[in-house]
Amino acid sequence: MTSPPTEESVEQPAGIVERLVRDDFDRKRFLKMVGSAGATSFGAFALAACGSSSKSTSTAAGTTAGTATAASTASSGGDVAILNYALTLEYLETAFYAKVVEAGLFTGKVGALVRDFARQEASHVAALKAAVQKLGGMPVAEPASKFPISSATQVAELAYTVENLGAAAYLGQAGNIQSPEVLASALAIHSVEARHAATLGTLVKKSVTPDGAFAKPADMSTVLAAVKPFLA
């Protein structure tokens, strides 16, 4: 009699962002589905990206069935997929700050601020993993990452870009979230990402409100293009 598989022995699902970046077929399918059917189709695709679909979903009938499944599980599967998407981004941000802290490019008050940001991003990871598990899902695996760490100025400007992207990514999915509890959690993280970005904007002498009076959301295709250089 074989022993039950452990968490370490079971292959972990790839992050939605990582899979889309690496797989042209999935990316093209995602863009087509979002363009034609909006948020409900996003839920269907996200379920497929997390491994919940069968081969039949590549057919027209399968896609229709997948959309129906997403609509009927909006507060579980759909939100789990969005949380895992956010978790993948938070993994990248956490890895970035960890490398920045390790590089020791910042000292004094700025160094302390960067370390605070690093701890907060790590807290986001823990919170999102817990939220996925609470909804009965499996947190995605952390993707391998790479970040250029050359100088304090370069890193500060990159951090400003990364934090603004994170805030925009959360805003871009807010309308797709079904659970009020999940929405509240996502907006709580979004607010911190935006405050990080504003603080860094002051540091690098860039606008603290780059979009003016109203923040602009970023759809997944925009986020994918932005994070692709950071995936190892």
Domain shared by 102 and 145, yes or no: yes
Q: In the chain, pLDDT over 70 holds for what percent of residues?
A: 67
* Domain co-membership, 153 together with 127: yes
Together in a domain, 60 and 81: no
Tally of domains within the chain: 2
Q: What is the pLDDT of residues 70-98, one digit of tens each?
A: 333 333 359 999 999 999 999 999 999 99
Q: What domain range is 205 assigned to?
A: 74-230
Q: What is the pLDDT of residue 143?
A: 93
Which pair of structure tokens corresponds to residue 138? Answer: 């499996």
pLDDT tens, 114-126? 999 999 999 999 9
Which phi and psi (to 5°) does residue 145 adopt? -135, 165
pLDDT, tens only, 27-57 = 555 444 443 333 333 333 333 333 333 333 3
Largest CA distance in the chain: 64
Do 20 and 79 lie in one domain? The reply is no
Q: What is the pLDDT of residues 165-174, one digit of tens each?
A: 999 999 999 9
Ramachandran region, residue 205 (left: φ > 0; alpha: ψ -120 to 50; beta: rest): left
pLDDT band at 220 (very low <50, low <70, confident <90, very high): confident
> Residue 145: helix, strand or coil by DSSP?
strand
Q: Which of 101, 128, 106 is nearest to 193 (CA)?
A: 128
CATH number reported for the structural domain that contains residue 103 in this entry: 1.20.1260.10
Supply the pLDDT for residue 182: 93
| Pair of tokens at residue 62 | 């399968």
Q: How far is CA 72 from CA 44, 65, 69, 134, 231, in A?
A: 10, 11, 5, 18, 33
How many distinct helices (H) and strands (E) make up the chain?
9, 0
Task: Examine residue 1 and state whether it is found in any structural domain, yes or no.
Answer: no
Structure-block tokens of residue 155: 């890193």
Same domain, 207 and 179: yes
Determine the average pLDDT of the residues in 179-207: 95
H-assigned helices in 104-219: 108-134, 152-173, 180-203
